[in-house]
Amino acid sequence: MTVMTNANSKIKIGVLGASGYTGADLVRLLLLHPNAEISLLTADRRAGESYAAVYPHLAGRGLPDLVAIQDADWSGVDAVFCGLPHGTTQELIAALPDQVKVIDLSADFRLRNADTYAEWYGHEHRAPHLQGDAVYGLTEHAREAVSAARLVACPGCYPTAALMALLPLVGGGVIDPADIVVDAKSGVTGAGRGLKEANLFCEVAEGIHPYGIASHRHAPEIEQELSLAAGKDILINFTPHLMPMNRGELLTCYVRMTEGHTADDLRATLAERYDDEYFVTVVEPGVVPATRHIRGSNHCLIGVFADRIPGRAIVVSTLDNLVKGSSGQAIQNMNLMFGLPETTALEQAPLFP
Amino acid sequence: MTVMTNANSKIKIGVLGASGYTGADLVRLLLLHPNAEISLLTADRRAGESYAAVYPHLAGRGLPDLVAIQDADWSGVDAVFCGLPHGTTQELIAALPDQVKVIDLSADFRLRNADTYAEWYGHEHRAPHLQGDAVYGLTEHAREAVSAARLVACPGCYPTAALMALLPLVGGGVIDPADIVVDAKSGVTGAGRGLKEANLFCEVAEGIHPYGIASHRHAPEIEQELSLAAGKDILINFTPHLMPMNRGELLTCYVRMTEGHTADDLRATLAERYDDEYFVTVVEPGVVPATRHIRGSNHCLIGVFADRIPGRAIVVSTLDNLVKGSSGQAIQNMNLMFGLPETTALEQAPLFP
Amino acid sequence: MTVMTNANSKIKIGVLGASGYTGADLVRLLLLHPNAEISLLTADRRAGESYAAVYPHLAGRGLPDLVAIQDADWSGVDAVFCGLPHGTTQELIAALPDQVKVIDLSADFRLRNADTYAEWYGHEHRAPHLQGDAVYGLTEHAREAVSAARLVACPGCYPTAALMALLPLVGGGVIDPADIVVDAKSGVTGAGRGLKEANLFCEVAEGIHPYGIASHRHAPEIEQELSLAAGKDILINFTPHLMPMNRGELLTCYVRMTEGHTADDLRATLAERYDDEYFVTVVEPGVVPATRHIRGSNHCLIGVFADRIPGRAIVVSTLDNLVKGSSGQAIQNMNLMFGLPETTALEQAPLFP
Amino acid sequence: MTVMTNANSKIKIGVLGASGYTGADLVRLLLLHPNAEISLLTADRRAGESYAAVYPHLAGRGLPDLVAIQDADWSGVDAVFCGLPHGTTQELIAALPDQVKVIDLSADFRLRNADTYAEWYGHEHRAPHLQGDAVYGLTEHAREAVSAARLVACPGCYPTAALMALLPLVGGGVIDPADIVVDAKSGVTGAGRGLKEANLFCEVAEGIHPYGIASHRHAPEIEQELSLAAGKDILINFTPHLMPMNRGELLTCYVRMTEGHTADDLRATLAERYDDEYFVTVVEPGVVPATRHIRGSNHCLIGVFADRIPGRAIVVSTLDNLVKGSSGQAIQNMNLMFGLPETTALEQAPLFP
C-alpha cells in the first residue's frame, strides 16, 4: 500500500476511454479530489480534440486534450482508470509499465473462470496471467485486497447493487441462494454513449421494456460472487429493464428465507454488516429506496420488506450506475490503493430534484 | 342482451366522475364510437364548468357541461361509466334506475368476498346485494357473463395485465400457482389527477421506486381470480413501481413451471388461448413487449421467456393502464352489453413514438 | 379532381421511406381510413423485412412487407406518400407513372425559387419542370390548388405552425412583416430516427438547447410564404430549440402590430379566418395553447396575447409535428386530391395525458 | 466586512423555509462548505420532523430537526437564508437580531420602488425601512455592495439569467434597451414543491406551454435593473415556458443592436466583462449553451449569435435555477459577506448526463 505523504505531489491520473459517460463522471469527480490530478485523457476517435469539445460541461477546468491511446505518455502516470470497451483492455493493461496502478471499469477482469469468460464474451481471455492477480473491487467487501492490489476489476453496475444487498444474506445463510429473482430497472447511461437506435430519445422516453432477458453478462458476475458466498454453484434470475431516466438503477430482489428467519432478520443482518459504512445505508422500516435519493452520489440504499407470501421477502437496492456502480466506486478503490481516506472526492450529496 | 338495430338511436352515455384521467380517456374513445353519444358528464367539484375547462384537448366536441351527480338527469341515459373514487360508488349505483346499465371502473364491486372487501377497503360493503350480481369484467375471460350483465365491475389495471398473462397458465396447470412473483412498473396516470406530493413532476421524473409493497389493493383482486382458476386459495407477490411515463404498465412475472413443462409450453398455452383475440397478442419469440408498443390503444402484449434457472420462466405482460387497463376495456364491455361488435371505437393503433 | 364513387374500390397507397417516424404515423392514421389501403411500403435498408420488425406497435395489421424502392410495383398504386430524405425525391418522382398522385413530405418541392433551393440544400434542383407544378400544401390556405394537384409538397412542420398563425396577420396587414421573431420548441421526433449522438436519450432528457440558430432550412420556407402574403421580400428570425418530448412543437411568435391595432384585433383576424376550419382553433382569451392538447391529433391551436411593450403582441401556435406538421396534413391533402371529406381518418382526439 | 480568521469557528447558518426545493439545495451545497455549519432549519408545516423525513436524500448528514419559525433559537446564528413564500419575509426579517446577516431568496426585497412592489405583489411593503438597505445581490454586478451588506435580496432565477446576458449589453450601449424580447424555458423546480395540478407529472411530461404571459413578476425585476443600466425606464417582453425537466432554465433573448454594432461586438462586450469571472462563461463561437451543461452547478453560460435579420442578434443565457438562480448565488453572496473565497462550496462540476 502506497501512503501519500506529500500533499504537493498529487497522484497523476490517466483516464483511458475518456469520451464515454463513465469517463466524464470520473473526470467530474476527480476534479474535486485534493490528492489527484488528471494528466492524461485518451479517446481514439476524438484524439486531438479538447475535452470540452466532447463534454462542454467540463470546459474551463484545465484538462489535457484527448490523445490516442498509442500516443499516450505513461512516464508520469501513477494510476489509470480504464473505461474501454469490453475485450479491448486485456492486452493494453498487460503492456502498461509496472508502476502504473490500474483500476479497470470494463468487464475484462471481473470473471475469474477462463471458461466462463470465454462463454459469455465470445473469445479466450487475452491476459490470463493477469486475470488471477485482479482483485474484484466491490469495495466494502474487498477492502484489504483492494488496498494491496495493482489491478482492480471494478464490478459492473448491476452486480454492485445486487451484491451489496445479497452477499450478506447469502453469506449469513438467511436466504436460500437457489431461489433468487433480481428484477432490475436502469437509466440509459448504463448503455453508454454509442449510437444505437434503441437508445434514441424517442425509443426510450415514455416507456419501459426488459432486455437481455436471461442472457445479460452481469448474471454470471453476480453468480460468481454469490456462489463463493454460498459455498456452492448457484444460478440466479436476472432481468434488467430500460427506462427513461439518465442515471440510477433500482433492483428489486425476491428471495426465499431459510427456515426460521423473517424480513426483520434480513434487515438486521444487513444493518449490522453496513453499520460502519459511509456509502451503504440500510433504510429504516417505512422508508422506500428510490433512485432519486442517490442521484449523482456514491451512495447505495438498501431496504427490506416482508412479502405477502409467508417465508419470502423483498430486498430493494439502489445506486447511481455511473457513480457507485462505476466511476465513484473506482475512485473509492483508488483511494484505498493509495492509502487515502476512502471517501475523498466522494462526499457530494445526491442531486435532488 | 340488447341488440342495437337502429343506427339512429345511439346509446346515451353518462360518465360519472368525468374529471379524472379515466374519464377523459373514456370521452376520447367514445367520441369515435358510431353507436354511442355522451349525454351526461358529472364531476362534483367542477360542476357548472364546460368539459373543455377541465380538459382543453377535448374542446369543440359538443360535449355537455359538467353537473353535480345529484343534479344528473337519468331519464334518457342507457348506460353509465362510473369513474368515481373507491367506496363512493356502491350506494350510488344501488339508487340508479333499473334500465341503466352500469360499467364500474372503481374497485367497489371487484371483490366477491365481503370480508376481503372490508379488510382491504376499511369499511363494510354498502351494496352487498349488488356485489353478488356484479360481473368481473375481464372481457376475454368473461364474455358471456358480461354480455348478459347489468352491472360490470371492470378489473383494475394491474389485475388486467396480470390475469391476461397468468390465468391461462394457472388454469392450464402449467405453472405452480403458489410461486408467482409479479414485479410491476407503471406510469403516473395510474395514480390519478389528485394532488399528492408524490405525483409532482419533480418527485417522479428521472427516478423510480417501489410503492405499496405487499400492501397494494390489486393483490387480493389478482389472487381472487387466480385462486378460482387454481381451485385453491393462493397468495402472490405483487410489487408495483412508479416510473416517469404518463401511460402504460409492464408486468414481469416470475413463475415456476410444473413438472415437464418448458417456456415453449407456456407460450403455446397462451398463444392458443388468445389466437382469436383481437386485443391480446402473444408476441413471437425474440420480440420483447414494451409499453410504447401499446400506448393509447386497447391492446395487451404478452411474451414468454425461459429463465436461466431450470424449471422457471418469465412472463411479460404490458398494456395501457388508461385503455385496456381501464377505459378501453370498459367500452369493450359496453359493446358486449349492447350487442355491438366488441372492437367498436377501439381500433386505433398505438401512438408511437 | 377525382371523386371516389365506389366504396369498394379503395385508393391504393404507397408509402415511400416507410421506416421513418413520419412513415409510421402515416401508416397509423391510414389504418383507420375507410377509403384507402396500403399496398406498398418501401424502405431500402430494411427491404425484405416485415413492417412489424421495424415498428412492432403496428404488428398484426395486414401490412405488406417492406421492399426496396427499385423493386416497387407501381401498377396498382393510386397515390404515394414520399417520406424520403431531402434531395432524393426529385428524380424519383419525375420517374413515377403519370396516374400516380404524389404527396411529398420531404423538402424537395417546397421552395419555388431554384436559387433559394440551391443555396439552402447545396445542389441544383433535379426536377425543375416539376418544381413549378408542385402545390405548396398548407391545406387551409391552398385548398383549391391542392384539390386539383397531382404533386403536393407538404410544408415542413415548423412552417405549418408558423404560417397558420402568421399568414392571416401578414395578409391582413395587422402586423409588421419585417419585425417577426419565431421562437420554436420541438420534440425529438422532428429529428427523425437516424442515428445521431445529439438525439440519444441522455443528450436530450432533462435539458433544452437551441439549434440551427439563424440557419435552419425552415426559415426560407416560412419567408417564401410570408413574402407572398406581404407583397415584398421579408426575412424573419427563426430559432428552434430541442426539448425532451416525443411529439409536438410550440412556436412563440413575437410581433409588432401596425398602427392602430391591438392584440384583440389580431385574435379577431385569426378567429374569423379559421372560424369554419375543423383543424385550426383560435383559443379563447385566457386559454394557453399547450402541446399536450394536440398530441397525436391533426389539430393546430393558436392563441394571441398582448405584450407588456405597447404595440407588440405574442402569438402562440402549436401542433403535433408528426400529424398536422407532417403525416396528418399529408392525408388531409390526399383526401382533397381524391374528393373525399377532408377530415377522413383524422378525427381522433388528442391523447392526453 | 467580517473576515473569518479562525477555521474552527464555523459560521452558524439558519435555513428558514427549509422544506422547499430551494432549501434542499442550500443544504446540499452547504454540507460541502468548510466554513459553515447548519444549526437551524425551519419549516412550519413539518416542524418536529427530521430533515430526512422531508428529504431522504439528505439523511445521515447530522442535520438538526425542523422547527417552527417562532420556536427558532437565534442566539448562536450568524446568518440566515430565507426561502419563505413571497410576502411573509418582511416582518420576520425586521424582527431578527441585528447581528444576524440575512440572505433572502424570496422576492420581498428585490424591488426598490414601493409602488412597483405594491402593484405586483398586491399589498404595501411591510418593512419599507429595510427595503432601502437591501442590496440586490446579482453577485458579479454587486460585489462590493454585497460584501458590505447585512441584508441581501437574491435575484429571481429568471432575472439572474437575463441580467447576466443583458446588463453589459445595455450598459455598454450596444443594444437598444427598448426592443428586447426574452423567451424563457424553465424546468419544474422553478414552481416549487407546493401542490398544484399544473405541476403534476402528467400535466408537464411530454409537453410545453407558456405561462404568466406578460404578467410574470420577474418582468419588473429585470426592467428595474435594465432601466438603471439604460438610464431610462424601459419595458421588456418576458415570456416564460414550463417544460419537462427538473432543473435548469434557458433564456433566448432577441435584441436589436445599436448602429454600427455586430453580434461579434456583443460577444466581445460580454467576454471582456466576464473574462475574470469563475461562474460566468461566454461560450466560444460555434458552441451552443444548453441547460444540461450547467445542471447542478453554479455556472452561467452565455452565447451570442447573429440573426438572419440585419441589425439583430440572439443572446442565449442558461443556468440552473436552483443553484446560480437561487441557492448557489445565495451562498456566493454569503461567502462575500463573510470575507471568504467566493467559490467556496460551489466548485462542483455540472452533473451530465
Q: Do A353 and D294 touch (CB under 8 A)?
A: no
- Mean pLDDT, residues B21-28 taken together: 98
How confident is the model over D228-271, as pLDDT tens digits?
999 999 999 999 999 999 999 999 999 999 999 999 999 999 99
- Between these two residues, B88 and C272, which has the higher pLDDT value? C272
Query: What residue ranges of chain C have pLDDT lower than 70?
Result: 1-8
Q: Do A185 and B181 touch (CB under 8 A)?
A: no
DSSP state of C291: G
Q: How many CB atoms lie within 10 A of CB C209?
A: 22
Q: How far apart are CA B170 and CA B172, in angstroms?
A: 5
Query: Would you call the peptide bond into D353 cis, given omega within 30 degrees of 0 as the criterion?
Result: yes
Q: Do D195 and B195 touch (CB under 8 A)?
A: yes
Lookup: cell for B112 = 366477491
A98 touches chain D (CB under 8 A): no
Residues 3-42 of C with CB under 8 A from A: 21
DSSP state of C4: P
Q: What is the 3-state secondary structure (H, E, C) of C13-70?
A: EEEECCCCHHHHHHHHHHCCCCCEEEEEEECHHHCCCCHHHHCHHHCCCCCCCEECHH
pLDDT of residue B192: 94
Q: Minimal Cα distance from D200: which residue of B? A: B200
Q: How far apart are CA D269 and CA D39, in angstroms?
A: 43
Contacts of B21 in chain D (CB under 8 A): 202
Q: How far apart are CA B48 and CA B66, in angstroms?
A: 6
ipTM of the prediction: 0.96
Rounded alpha-carbon distances, angstroms, from residue A302 to A155, A293, A350, B145: 18, 12, 16, 46
Q: Do C349 and B295 touch (CB under 8 A)?
A: no
C308 touches chain D (CB under 8 A): yes
B contact test, residue of D201, D247, D322 with most B CBs within 10 A: D201
Contacts of A199 in chain C (CB under 8 A): 200-202
Q: What is the 3-state secondary structure (H, E, C) of B158-181?
A: HHHHHHHHHHHHHHCCCEEEEEEE
pLDDT of residue C8: 58
Whether residue B137 is predicted with pLDDT greater than 50 in this model: the reply is yes
Q: How far apart are CA B254 and CA B314, in angstroms?
A: 5
B244 closest CB neighbour out of D193, D199, D201: D201
Contacts of B239 in chain A (CB under 8 A): 252, 254, 314
Q: Minimal Cα distance from B301: which residue of C? A: C57
C214 closest CB neighbour out of D183, D219, D307: D307
Lookup: cell for B236 = 402472490
Q: Do B201 and D21 touch (CB under 8 A)?
A: no
CB A341 within 8 A of CB A298: no
B214 touches chain A (CB under 8 A): yes
A31 closest CB neighbour out of D61, D349, D351: D349
The minimum CA-CA distance between D198 and chain B, rounded to whole Å, is: 9
Q: How many CB atoms lie within 10 A of CB D147?
A: 19
C207 touches chain D (CB under 8 A): yes
Chains in touch with C (≥3 Cβ pairs < 8 A): A, B, D
Q: How far apart are CA A199 and CA C197, in angstroms?
A: 10
Q: Minimal Cα distance from B204: which residue of D? A: D201
Confidence of residue D3 (pLDDT cuts 50, 70, 90): very low
B206 closest CB neighbour out of A219, A239, A295: A295
Confidence of residue B8 (pLDDT cuts 50, 70, 90): low
pLDDT of residue A75: 86
B contact test, residue of A252, A315, A322 with most B CBs within 10 A: A252
D contact test, residue of B21, B186, B193, B202 with most D CBs within 10 A: B202
- Mean pLDDT, residues D29-34 taken together: 97
Confidence of residue B3 (pLDDT cuts 50, 70, 90): very low
B57 touches chain D (CB under 8 A): no
Contacts of A202 in chain C (CB under 8 A): 21, 188-189, 193, 199, 246
Q: What is the DSSP code string of C63-126? A: PPPEE-GGG---TT--EEEE-PPTTSHHHHHHTS-TT-EEEE-SSTTT---HHHHHHHHSS--S
C276 touches chain A (CB under 8 A): no
Query: What residue ranges of chain A have pLDDT lower than 50?
Result: 1-5, 7
- Give strand pairing partners of B313: B255, B306
pLDDT of residue C336: 98
Rounded alpha-carbon distances, angstroms, from residue B311 to A309, A314, B265, B267, C132: 20, 21, 12, 14, 68
- Mean pLDDT, residues B201-216 taken together: 97
Lookup: cell for D286 = 460555434
pLDDT of residue C125: 93
Which active-site residues of C does the annotation give? 157
Helix axes D157-171, D263-274, angle to 10 degrees: 110
Q: How far apart are CA B317 and CA B163, in angstroms?
A: 9
Q: How far apart are CA B319 and CA B298, in angstroms?
A: 7
Q: How far apart are CA C57 and CA B351, in angstroms?
A: 8
Q: How far apart are CA D286 and CA D316, in angstroms?
A: 13
Q: How far apart are CA A307 and CA A297, in angstroms?
A: 30
pLDDT of residue D352: 97
The minimum CA-CA distance between A315 and chain B, rounded to whole Å, is: 11
Lookup: cell for D6 = 479562525
C193 touches chain A (CB under 8 A): yes
pLDDT of residue C108: 94
CB C2 within 8 A of CB C68: no
pLDDT of residue A87: 84
Which helix (H) or strand (E) segment holds residue D265: the answer is helix D263-274
DSSP state of A188: G
Using the structure block, give the residue that is written with the C-alpha cell 409450453: B265
The minimum CA-CA distance between A234 and chain B, rounded to whole Å, is: 9
Q: How far apart are CA B248 and CA B259, in angstroms?
A: 34
The minimum CA-CA distance between C189 and chain A, rounded to whole Å, is: 7
C246 closest CB neighbour out of B281, B293, B353: B353
Which active-site residues of A does the annotation give? 157
Whether residue D2 is predicted with pLDDT greater than 90 in this model: the reply is no
In this prediction the pTM is 0.97
Rounded alpha-carbon distances, angstroms, from residue D86 to D92, D123, D189, D217: 12, 11, 16, 11
Contacts of B220 in chain A (CB under 8 A): none
The minimum CA-CA distance between C91 and chain D, rounded to whole Å, is: 32
- Mean pLDDT, residues D71-91 taken together: 91
Amino acid identity, position B28: R
- Tell me the Ramachandran region of residue B124: left when phi exceeds 0, alpha when psi lies from -120 to 50, beta otherwise: beta
- Total beta-carbon pairs less than 8 A apart between chain A and chain C: 56
pLDDT of residue D8: 58
- Give strand pairing partners of A181: A237, A254
Helices within C97-215 (DSSP H only): 114-121, 128-133, 143-148, 157-171, 201-204
Rounded alpha-carbon distances, angstroms, from residue A112 to A217, A233, A324, B43, B301: 14, 14, 22, 64, 40
Chains in touch with B (≥3 Cβ pairs < 8 A): A, C, D
Rounded alpha-carbon distances, angstroms, from residue D141 to C13, D165, D168, D322: 63, 12, 10, 19
How confident is the model over D334-347, as pLDDT tens digits?
999 999 999 999 99
The minimum CA-CA distance between B36 and chain D, rounded to whole Å, is: 28
Residue D222 Cα to chain centre, angstroms: 12
Q: Do A202 and C196 touch (CB under 8 A)?
A: no
C207 touches chain B (CB under 8 A): no
DSSP β-ladder status, A312-319 and B11-16 = unpaired
D244 closest CB neighbour out of B193, B196, B205: B205
pLDDT of residue A327: 98
Q: How far apart are CA B265 and CA B255, in angstroms?
A: 13
How confident is the model over B115-136, as pLDDT tens digits?
999 999 999 999 988 888 899 9
Question: Among candidates B311, B320, B300, B322, which has minimal Cα distance to B20?
Answer: B322
Q: How many CB atoms lie within 10 A of CB C306?
A: 20
D281 touches chain A (CB under 8 A): yes
pLDDT of residue A85: 87
Q: Do A197 and C195 touch (CB under 8 A)?
A: yes
- Between these two residues, B1 and D330, which has the higher pLDDT value? D330
Whether residue D301 is predicted with pLDDT greater than 50 in this model: the reply is yes
Domains identified in chain A and CATH numbers: 11-154+325-337 (3.40.50.720), 158-321 (3.30.360.10)
Q: How far apart are CA B60 and CA C278, in angstroms?
A: 9
Q: How far apart are CA A270 and CA A264, in angstroms?
A: 10
Listed in order, strand segments (DSSP E) in chain A are 11-16, 36-42, 66-67, 79-82, 101-104, 135-136, 151-153, 175-186, 209-210, 237-242, 249-257, 280-282, 300-306, 312-319
The minimum CA-CA distance between C213 and chain A, rounded to whole Å, is: 18
Q: How far apart are CA C92 and CA C104, in angstroms?
A: 11
pLDDT of residue B206: 97
How confident is the model over A142-156, as pLDDT tens digits?
999 999 999 999 999
pLDDT of residue A89: 86
The minimum CA-CA distance between A297 and chain B, rounded to whole Å, is: 14
- Mean pLDDT, residues B221-247 taken together: 98
A205 closest CB neighbour out of C21, C193, C201: C201
> Which phi and psi (to 5°) does residue B314 adopt?
-120, 125
- Mean pLDDT, residues D57-83 taken together: 95
Rounded alpha-carbon distances, angstroms, from residue A337 to A334, C9, C268: 5, 77, 73
A59 touches chain D (CB under 8 A): yes
